[in-house]
Amino acid sequence: MGAIGVFSYIAARYLLPWLFRQAAGDRETFFILGIAWAFLFIFASEELNLSIEVGAFLAGLSLAQVQYTSELTERVRPITDLFMVVFFSSIGLRIAADELLLYWQEAVIASAVLMIGNFAIMFFLINYEDFTPETSFLGSINMVQVSEFSLVVGALAVSQGFVGEPILGYLSLMAILTMSLSTYLIKYNHQIYDRTKPIWDRFDSPDKKDVELKMYDNHAVVIGLDEVTKPVLPALKDRVGDVVIVDRNPQTADEFADSEYDVIYGDFKHSELRKEAGLKRAAVVLSSSVQSEINQIAIREANDDAIVIVEAGTVDQALDRYEEGAHYVTIPTVLTGLKIRAYLEEYFTGREGFFETVREDVKRLQAANESGSYLTDGGKATEEVNTDE
């Protein structure tokens, strides 16, 4: 087991980031790689006469260390939910009603002792690190239930013949009791703290403080990065401060790894990624995707006070996005054609005005190029405008 643990640590540091970077561009390959990695550890565990649960756990630990964890979690969520249903169903099928309630008195007492003990231990540990009493209380009350991993261990013990089915029923009843109570404790944790605040104030002191966790607010969320959205980043940074880029292109994450912009790798359709980006608290939402589903989600979930700018592939899509609430919809191909038509009309009516307009465009390109917000293929804009008639 130690060998698998060491391999898991080394792979998480050196091998997995490279593997997932190569596969991140292809969603199917990305998904298969994550599943294959789990089965590799399961196979190794079986070959070493260890449980497959331990192998799967170590595989998860190594996968959790890579920057693509959020996207991978969303990709495997349907399979995870299915396996959880199958696992808990299999435990339920193995336990008769009389076995579940055979040690019900002991289960009730043990659940009470465990919940109180967990709370006391966690509160002491968090308080010892000089966090405020409120943080210590909330962190502790959220961790009083029996972990579902205890059922994994219990089922493994039954399958190996170490304990009988009634013990698994005893553990299952404890899990049912503690998880049910924990649901309400977590739901009303702030109210409980307010009512019992005088008790916890005894642990307060001037030296105690909480770690400031970064939470996005009144920021900008940029969905996808291309030549349309990239030049806008410096302006967004100056105006709103934090800029969060959500992109499933792994090159974006590498390009902006050490920049002043935060990058979240993954598909914007996944709710957890939108939550991580703070979409509902954003002041500006800018999308370079022409996918109607993505833009509809951005428009629907954005704050009412936020400005939402999206991209469309056709005029009909653009009109639909306006009806759904977008403040501005860009259609690069259509707008470019309209711009060229306006330039041609200006050329035929007054050539000097046309060339002056082009010079202004060149100046804007040069200014953007110097600021680093936009680069042409040659690295700088052309300075000369051909005015020969």
Domain regions of the chain by residue span: 2-203, 220-330
Those residues with Cβ within 8 angstroms of residue 386's Cβ, 6 or more apart along the chain or in another chain? none
What is the C-alpha separation between 263 and 243, in angstroms, rounded? Answer: 9
User: How many Å apart are CA 71 and CA 249, to the nearest integer?
Assistant: 12
Q: Which two tokens stand for residue 149?
A: 């991993």
Q: What are phi and psi of 254, to 5 degrees?
A: -70, -40
Strand ranges of the sheet holding 284-287, from the earlier edge strand across to the other edge: 262-265, 243-247, 220-223, 284-287, 307-311, 328-330
pLDDT by residue, tens only, the chain of 389 residues: 667 777 777 877 778 777 777 776 677 787 788 888 888 888 887 777 777 777 777 777 777 777 667 667 777 777 777 777 777 677 666 666 667 778 888 889 999 999 999 999 999 998 888 888 888 888 888 888 887 777 777 777 877 788 887 888 888 888 889 988 988 988 888 899 889 888 888 888 777 776 665 677 888 888 888 777 777 888 888 888 888 888 877 777 677 777 788 888 777 888 878 888 888 888 888 888 888 888 888 888 888 888 888 888 788 888 888 888 888 888 776 666 767 777 777 777 777 777 777 777 777 767 766 655 544 443 344 444 454 54
In angstroms, rounded to a whole number, what is the distance separating the alpha carbons of residues 314 and 327?
A: 17
How wide is the angle at C-alpha 281 spanned by C-alphas 278 and 284, nearest 5°? 95
Q: Which two tokens stand for residue 14?
A: 């050196």
Instruction: Residue 267: name the closest of 50, 86, 27 by CA.
Output: 27
Report the alpha-carbon distance of residue 61 to residue 86 in Å, rounded: 22
Nearest-angstrom CA–CA distance, 60 and 77? 13
What's the pTM? 0.57
pLDDT of residue 383: 42
The residue length of the chain stands at: 389
Using an 8 Å Cβ cutoff, are 211 and 188 in contact? Answer: no
Helix (H, G, I), strand (E, B) or coil at 143: coil
Residue 365 corresponds to which tokens in the numbers above?
A: 């390109």
CB neighbours of 247 closer than 8 A, spacing ≥ 6?
Answer: 223, 224, 225, 253, 263, 264, 265
For the chain, the straight-line distance linking the first and the last C-alpha, in angstroms and rounded, comes to 80
60 contacts 37 by C-beta, under 8 angstroms? no
CATH of 220-330, one of 2.60.120.260, 3.40.225.10, 3.40.50.280, 3.40.50.720: 3.40.50.720
Residue type, position 241, single letter: G
Residue 1: predicted pLDDT: 63
